[in-house]
């Protein structure tokens, strides 16, 4: 084998793996989000009676939400990779903000398991009181809840920048905005309606995944 051939082969395999992992995370993110909404129990709060009536749905949707959010972290890096050549500072800013928000958001869905356990072990009024007390703690509000919304900010920085630099189509951030807004605007609707927001994001991030896979692997000397 000629000198350097093994290194080039290994590097090419590594680059190929990174591209496929990045594209996979961009698809997994909205797909898992869609399934999470679809399997969620009805209602807008952590009502103990509701949780007790839908114990399986609570656990399944929480796990899906958690892994959907975890997939956002490499997904942010994948979006930043598409932008880095045209706008490296915006790519770095969007990735940093988005990953910080995603890391904070992951922990939010652990509360579903604690609230379910409270509903199963305490009277309803006590379970509600404990949940409310935890939700009012400054560490939770300012250290987890508010930073979690930075995941949306990071995604918007990256997708708007991709469209502005013409790396991506104009409709890319439009679909991302729609995907973020729909669950909030349809909070009183059945979970199946809320899940349509994830389908908007699937189109947007599906395009980004396709673009990542099409990006040529740079030649190595």
pLDDT value of residue 10 = 44
pLDDT value of residue 89 = 96
Would residue 9 count as lying in a domain?
no
Averaged pLDDT, 175-193: 93
pLDDT value of residue 216 = 60
Residue 73 has pLDDT above 90, yes or no: yes
What is the pTM for the complete model shown?
Answer: 0.86
Would residue 1 count as lying in a domain?
no
Would residue 10 count as lying in a domain?
no
pLDDT value of residue 44 = 72
Would residue 57 count as lying in a domain?
yes
* 76-125 residue pLDDT tens: 999 999 999 999 999 999 999 999 999 999 989 889 999 999 999 999 99
* 122-161 residue pLDDT tens: 999 999 999 999 999 999 999 999 999 999 999 999 999 9
Would residue 162 count as lying in a domain?
yes
| Structure token pair of residue 108 | 């939010």
Would residue 221 count as lying in a domain?
no
CB under 8 Å to 205, separation ≥6 — which residues? 26, 27, 29, 30, 75
How many angstroms separate the CA atoms of 29 and 64, rounded?
10
Averaged pLDDT, 172-196: 94
pLDDT value of residue 97 = 97
Q: How many domains does the chain have?
A: 1
Angle at which helix 88-108 crosses helix 55-83, to 10 degrees, equals: 170
Would residue 210 count as lying in a domain?
yes
Residue-range definition of the domain harbouring residue 33: 20-214
Residue 183 has pLDDT above 50, yes or no: yes
Would residue 3 count as lying in a domain?
no
Q: Residue 150 — φ and ψ, nearest 5°?
A: -65, -20
Averaged pLDDT, 61-88: 95
Cα torsion 17, 19, 25, 26 to 10°: value is -160
pLDDT value of residue 2 = 52
pLDDT value of residue 1 = 45
Q: Which residue has the higher pLDDT, 14 or 140?
A: 140
pLDDT value of residue 7 = 46
């Amino acid at each position: 084998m000629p000198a350097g051939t093994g290194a080039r082969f290994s590097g090419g395999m590594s680059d190929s793996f990174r591209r496929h992992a990045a594209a996979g995370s961009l698809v997994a993110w909205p797909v898992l989000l869609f399934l999470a909404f679809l399997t969620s129990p009805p209602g807008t709060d952590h009502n103990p009676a509701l949780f007790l009536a839908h114990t399986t749905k609570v656990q399944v949707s929480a796990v899906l939400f958690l892994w959907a959010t975890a997939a956002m972290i490499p997904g942010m890096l994948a979006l930043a990779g598409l932008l880095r050549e045209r706008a490296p500072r915006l790519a770095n800013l969007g990735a940093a903000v988005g990953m910080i928000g995603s890391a904070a958001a992951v922990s939010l869905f652990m509360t579903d398991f604690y609230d379910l356990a409270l509903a199963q072990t305490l009277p309803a009024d006590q379970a509600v009181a404990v949940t409310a007390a935890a939700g009012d703690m400054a560490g939770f509000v300012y250290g987890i809840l508010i930073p979690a919304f930075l995941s949306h900010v990071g995604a918007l920085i990256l997708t708007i920048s991709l469209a502005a630099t013409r790396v991506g189509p104009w409709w890319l951030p439009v679909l991302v905005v729609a995907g973020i807004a729909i669950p909030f605007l349809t909070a009183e609707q059945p979970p199946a309606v809320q899940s349509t927001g994830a389908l908007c994001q699937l189109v947007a991030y599906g395009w980004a995944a396709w673009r990542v896979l099409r990006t040529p692997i740079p030649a190595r000397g």
